[in-house]
Amino acid sequence: MDPELKRELDMIRALAKENHDMLRAIRRHQWWSFITTFVFWVVVLVAPFYLYQQYVQPIVSKFSAMSGTATPSDPSITGIQKLINSFKSGQ
C-alpha cells in the first residue's frame, strides 16, 4: 500500500474515532442534563405539597379545632342546596 494513502487512511480513522468520542460525550451530557432537569422540576413541584402536609396543615387544623370551626370538606349536593336556601331566606 502506498505510504501516502496509508497515512491518509490513518488520519481519517483517527478523525472518525475522535468524532465518535465527541458524539458520545454530547449524548451523555444530554442524558445527564435531562435527568437533572427532571429531578429539579419534580422537587420544585412536589416540595410545596410535602411542606404543606408536614408543617402548615397541622397548624391550620389546630387553629380550626381551637376556634370550633371544622375544615371545609367536599360539599355534597344537599349541602349546597341548604346553603342556597339559607342565602335566599336571608339568614
Give the residue, 44 or 62, on which the prediction is more confident. Answer: 44
Side-chain-side CA neighbours of 77 within 13 Å: the count stands at 0
**End-to-end CA distance of the chain, in Å?**
104
Distances (CA, A) of 15 to 2, 25, 42, 71, 74: 20, 15, 41, 69, 67
pTM over 0.85: no
pLDDT of amino acid 25? 98
On the question of pLDDT at 75 being above 80, the answer is: no
**Percent of the chain residues past pLDDT 90, beyond the cut:** 53
